[in-house]
Structure 1
Amino acid sequence: MSECYFNPFANPYLSVEFLLLTILSVVLSNISLKKISFPFKAKVTKAKPIPNDIISYVFPYVVSFMGISYENPEKLLGFAVFLFWMFAITYKSGQIIMNPLLLMFGWKLYEAEAEIDGNERSARVLFKGSLAPGEYDAQTIQDVYIARGG
């Protein structure tokens, strides 16, 4: 046992850089969501949550990369390619707004019937919490409305 050597931080600089990048991304995401202006008025008449099935498809693939080591550039490159493809798939499917980070902070995606600036429409609405019928302030980003209690 005295000859056993295990160093979980064999590449401390790279692991710390990735950790700092992750923390910075979380902070910037929260700041960005708080700084959105809401120029539209929306009256939601009916809303139902959109299931986040795409995330449940992603987790089994992520688990296969759990053994990534910073010492193996091939595995890091494979993981980067995987993340790129996941981004491309979610972007093309219109589910880019459904990422685990937003779910962790309480944001949910809804399919809603709403009157937005006097026009009735069916729209996808991102809202923090439960979206109930009522009046909201809204902003549109990439065919998705972001709403806040008005």
Structure 2
Amino acid sequence: MQFRMWSAGVLFLGSYAPLAFVLAAQDIKKELWGEPVCGWRGQLDCELQIFEHPWASLAAIAVTSAALWLTMYSIKAVRLKSEAEVLSAKPVPNDLINYVFPYVVSFMGLSYGDPQKLAGFFVFLVLLFLITYRSGQILMNPVLIAFGWRLYEVDIAVGGKQVRKTVRALKQGKLLPGKQLIEDVQEVYLMGDP
């Protein structure tokens, strides 16, 4: 199961949108913690420059959020044209440690103000992406899980039970045996209720 490199990269980037928000929260200026964002007089009294490194914080949020939106939009836009009989389905175990580890690292002194640590973290994420991509585990994404999607290993019968095969499938919600609408997207079947 191999996604194209660019689509896998977008999916991978989108899975780290929450990390971008964590790093942005850590980048808020220390003197602003405990202060109101806006004074009582309204918008003229607002502090808009709340980040120590606004370009890095806002760029990370924008890029990862756009990647997440593109991932969700693309998955929803796929038309499920064929029909299959699901004979059995079991959830694929989700090894969340690959995604949890970078969040833990973010609390160990990583900040936008330390370019050496940031560069090292970037190299780590690139290597993690390559390992995840090459192992075919790119769809094991906790952000998709948060939106109700699950990855399954499924036995299906296609074409009036003429062809029986075992595939990986992504479905929003629980996948039960029975009829499903399907579409093969880069060797992963997207499934939905008829």
Tell me the TM-score normalized by structure 1: 0.86
Show the counterpart of 2:164: 120
Residue 28 of structure 1 and its aligned partner are, at CA, apart by 1.3
- 8 Å CA contact retained: 1:38, 1:137: yes
- Any runs of at least 4 consecutive aligned residues in structure 1 with deviations exceeding 4 A, and if so which? none
Residue 16 of structure 1 and its aligned partner are, at CA, apart by 1.2
Does residue 148 of structure 1 match 2:189?
Answer: no
2:106 to 58, 65, 86: 65
Identical-pair percentage: 37
Show the counterpart of 2:43: none
Q: In structure 1, how many angstroms separate the alpha carbons of the residues matched to 2:172 and 2:153? A: 14
Does residue 27 of structure 1 match 2:51?
Answer: no
Show the counterpart of 2:85: 43
- 8 Å CA contact retained: 2:99, 2:142: no
Amino acid at match of 2:191: A
2:144 to 96, 102, 115: 102
Residue 138 of structure 1 and its aligned partner are, at CA, apart by 1.0
Residue 65 of structure 1 and its aligned partner are, at CA, apart by 3.2
How many residues were matched structurally?
145
Q: RMSD of aligned C-alpha atoms?
A: 1.8
Q: Deviations over 1:56-110 (max 9, x none)?
A: 2442354123332111111121111111111111111111111122111111111
Show the counterpart of 1:130: 174
Q: Deviations over 1:96-135 (max 9, x none)?
A: 1111221111111111111123410111111111100111
Q: In structure 2, how many angstroms separate the alpha carbons of the residues matched to 1:29 and 1:57? A: 19
2:60 to 3, 7, 18: 18
Amino acid at match of 2:30: F
Residue 17 of structure 1 and its aligned partner are, at CA, apart by 1.4
Q: Deviations over 1:23-63 (max 9, x none)?
A: 2122212211111122321110111111102x224423541
For the residue of structure 2 that corresponds to 1:64, the secondary structure is: helix
Of 17-26 and 124-133, more deviation after overlay is shown by 17-26
Amino acid at match of 1:98: M
More strand by share: 1
- 8 Å CA contact retained: 2:98, 2:128: no
Could you tell me which runs of 5 or more consecutive residues in structure 1 were left unpaired when the two chains were aligned.
Answer: none
- 8 Å CA contact retained: 2:89, 2:154: yes
Amino acid at match of 2:192: R
